[in-house]
Structure 1
């Protein structure tokens, strides 16, 4: 489907016999896809939602392109996690008007819900501590889009901003927020029922991203391979994990779509441990009004497929 501004632009070009056209796009632009899911639910039928980070890229070290900068400048509203998670966003966002930006981790209601950083940090051998500290996002775990409660607060904040920016669309925005909150409550119950039988089953995740989701649904990870997904875990770390896979009888080790699972295959080889994949960014899910519900449900399915076994 052509964007409404593209159609407008084409009309102007036809009417004036060529020349150039600058589209006045005024969309909601989010840094990462899960925030795009939330924003799309609230902005549905009012304005479009775009996501900066392409599928397969990492939110930890993305480099903005000139076209990304342009999208940020033209955006009606820019939604991101915050400077400690997405350093690449800091400078361009600082140049925008405050009322047109929203950092979810900085919201007053969100701050008390933030979890402390790496909960397994003390178990990491010294050889890997340097790598881990390079990636440590200050004091808190900022993979906050994996918390249904923080997602709800993000939706409320996006709604508030859009009502301020587009007061004529208040009725539609109100209805969208109500719909999101109702669907979220139902999805949360459904996911809890899917994951409830898996409580107490041990597993390893590839990187330390899932704390909010695991806390919400009572899951019990034994640890993670790395805090920085860009850096391969050291030999000492892998030996430690392999020992624990055998001793703790972990049911599962989880890879992620954007990182090659070769290292995980090597560690699990010759053990009874199953391999699964967790997708913390919802790369296969289209941005749309039910995207966040699909995201939570899809992740539950990925945990369940591996942990429940045969």
Structure 2
């Protein structure tokens, strides 16, 4: 009996050697985990620090999440210019050595949501994601268990899937009738501008601040004069502001999730995420 149990344990150990030796990669946000998973496939464990159903604008790190960072072989984040709330986390020199910041620009720009250029939600633009890939590959290739040739092959396959997804989405969106799209804040501009979708109005320039009375009055006028107005709501923010507006014409309401909460972290996940964003627009059409 003891001999049989020992043989079983040995068989189990031999069955999972790759899993035991896999590097652990933690990203700041869920969409970034989707991108990294496209590159590493099954050769690494990838997870996001901030839960997908939590807005980064209101995030406060828990002790368990800090421990995950300490145990990660690599931490990949957008950088202090895009995620200033994480900057103090990297005071630990050892963690900083194991981290990759994709953008080390001016951190003050991260608080200004007035334009797509200044908005931190760059993962919504496929061109921005393409620009992330080389530094991510360079960083991950330094980890034991990940080989540069395989990472480069995965990157090329991802680029092909990404191009196919863009073509598929453009064909779908080109069929939409004319409509004016209204969003909660500036995040959607990254996706909209890439796919030539016009944003007619935004509820707030900064989701950390409530919209002012004058801005709400102007937004209400825009909605009343819009062509087939479409309101895009987000799961991370309340719909009460929209419901409080006095609109005299029918409106379509759709739900889009900039964090990809329901998208599984696996290869093909990022393009599925883009498809879901397109679904939200199609569902909002008149």
Using the TM superposition, give the Cα deviation of residue 289 of structure 1 relative to its aligned residue in structure 2, in angstroms: 1.1
Which residue does 2:128 correspond to in 1?
A: 150
**TM-score of the pair, normalised by structure 1:** 0.77
Q: Give CA-to-partner distance per residue, 1:119-167, whole Å, 9 cap, x none.
A: 39xxxxxxxxxxxxxxxxxx82221101101112222221121112237
Which residue does 2:101 correspond to in 1?
A: 103
Query: Number of matched residues?
Result: 262
Using the TM superposition, give the Cα deviation of residue 174 of structure 1 relative to its aligned residue in structure 2, in angstroms: 2.4
Please give the alpha-carbon distance, in whole angstroms, between the structure 2 residues aligned to 1:64 and 1:97. 15
Using the TM superposition, give the Cα deviation of residue 97 of structure 1 relative to its aligned residue in structure 2, in angstroms: 5.0
In structure 2, do the counterparts of structure 1 residues 69 and 25 end up closer, same or farther at CA, with 3 Å as the change threshold?
Answer: farther
Q: Any idea what SS the aligned residue of 1:233 has?
A: coil
Please give the alpha-carbon distance, in whole angstroms, between the structure 2 residues aligned to 1:151 and 1:199. 29
**TM-score of the pair, normalised by structure 2:** 0.83
Q: Any idea what SS the aligned residue of 2:244 has?
A: helix
Which residue does 2:90 correspond to in 1?
A: 93
Q: Name the stretch that deviates more: 69-78 or 226-235.
A: 226-235
Using the TM superposition, give the Cα deviation of residue 267 of structure 1 relative to its aligned residue in structure 2, in angstroms: 2.0
Query: Do the aligned partners of 1:202 and 1:250 also contact (CA within 8 Å) in 2?
Result: yes
Query: Do the aligned partners of 1:29 and 1:50 also contact (CA within 8 Å) in 2?
Result: yes
The one of 157, 172, 189 equivalent to 1:179 is: 157
Which residue does 1:125 correspond to in 2?
A: none
Please give the alpha-carbon distance, in whole angstroms, between the structure 2 residues aligned to 1:99 and 1:184. 31
Query: Do the aligned partners of 2:256 and 2:277 also contact (CA within 8 Å) in 1?
Result: yes
Query: Do the aligned partners of 1:146 and 1:212 also contact (CA within 8 Å) in 2?
Result: yes
Which residue does 1:45 correspond to in 2?
A: 42
Please give the alpha-carbon distance, in whole angstroms, between the structure 2 residues aligned to 1:93 and 1:292. 27
2:52 is equivalent to residue 55 of structure 1: yes
Using the TM superposition, give the Cα deviation of residue 211 of structure 1 relative to its aligned residue in structure 2, in angstroms: 1.9
Q: Which consecutive unaligned segments of at least 5 residues does structure 2 have?
A: 1-8, 10-19
Query: Do the aligned partners of 1:64 and 1:88 also contact (CA within 8 Å) in 2?
Result: no
2:114 is equivalent to residue 118 of structure 1: yes
The one of 276, 280, 290 equivalent to 2:258 is: 280
In structure 2, do the counterparts of structure 1 residues 182 and 82 end up closer, same or farther at CA, with 3 Å as the change threshold?
Answer: same
Q: Any idea what SS the aligned residue of 2:142 has?
A: helix
The one of 263, 272, 285 equivalent to 2:241 is: 263
Query: Do the aligned partners of 1:199 and 1:219 also contact (CA within 8 Å) in 2?
Result: no
RMSD: 2.6
Q: Name the stretch that deviates more: 225-234 or 179-188.
A: 225-234
Q: Give CA-to-partner distance per residue, 1:38-68, whole Å, 9 cap, x none.
A: 0111121211001011132111231111111
Please give the alpha-carbon distance, in whole angstroms, between the structure 2 residues aligned to 1:149 and 1:230. 27
The one of 190, 194, 197 equivalent to 1:212 is: 190
Q: Name the stretch that deviates more: 193-202 or 242-251.
A: 193-202
In structure 2, do the counterparts of structure 1 residues 119 and 205 end up closer, same or farther at CA, with 3 Å as the change threshold?
Answer: same
Query: Do the aligned partners of 1:60 and 1:85 also contact (CA within 8 Å) in 2?
Result: no
Please give the alpha-carbon distance, in whole angstroms, between the structure 1 residues aligned to 2:99 and 2:176. 39
